[in-house]
Amino acid sequence: MANYQGTFERYEKKYLLNPVQYELIKSRMRAWMEPDEYPEGTICNIYYDTPDRRLIRRSLEKPVYKEKLRLRSYGVPDGDSPVFIELKKKYQGIVYKRRVDSTLDFAANYLECRGEADRESQVLKEIDWFLAFYENVVPSMYIAYHRLAWRGKEDTELRMTFDDQIVWREDQLDLTAGIWGNDLLNAGEHLMEVKIPGAMPLWMSNAFDEAGICPVSLSKYGKGYQETLKEGDRHYA
């Protein structure tokens, strides 16, 4: 875990691709992109929120500033497995992500029982402030997905990721409970995220025009929350 990056600051744009667009983008990017250091894997997350889901409700209103807290693992962990506590903020289109490494047992005690941090760091101070400000933050939703990750050959800060097999659930909010839940996307769809340190390269802009794709506002947690509202409407209909 010593080589992980703890802070990020970049523009992020999301695109929802059908199977034809997905294959076209992959074919166009190969001259400029290469597989990331960790090119493929399954990412599992627990998103934290207040019991009335104040954070995601505010996020869906598209404010100038928003933030979220999540616990992330790569694959299904056990108690001693490495995980990351991540605080993600977005202000005027720029994403700021702070994260610290931990074990699952420590992270659960720290986040859910408000245990003491095991070290001093600026990131943990920010997370402490978040927990104190929102007071009663609890596990809210599990989200997992399969990811392919690419980076620029010349600019390694330029990254593209492709997520599919995205699932969400509201029960058994435990990273050790396995990868299962409700499908978030239609069959064959991929959610592409582009992480850009500055301006979008011309080749990328041309490829996106050729594929006929435009940015979308799609939060995995937000879409999962909206699906819970639909389920509630059907239940009471």
- Structure confidence by residue, pLDDT tens digits, 41-82: 999 999 999 999 999 999 999 999 999 999 999 999 987 889
Q: Is residue 210 a part of any domain in this protein?
A: yes
| Domain that residue 59 falls in | 7-236
% of the chain with per-residue pLDDT over 90: 73
Prediction pTM value: 0.90
Whose tokens are 């760091």? That residue is: 121
DSSP character at residue 19: H
Domain count, the chain: 1
Residue 233's pLDDT is 54
Q: What CATH number does the domain containing 52 carry?
A: 3.20.100.30
- Whether residue 213 is contained in a domain is answered as yes
The terminus-to-terminus CA distance of the chain in angstroms comes to 49
Locate the DSSP E strands across the chain. Answer: 7-17, 33-49, 65-74, 82-91, 94-103, 138-152, 159-169, 182-183, 190-196
Domain assignment present for 185: yes
In a domain, 159, yes or no: yes
Residue 61, domain member (yes or no): yes
2 in any annotated domain: no
Q: Could you tell me if residue 1 is inside a domain?
A: no
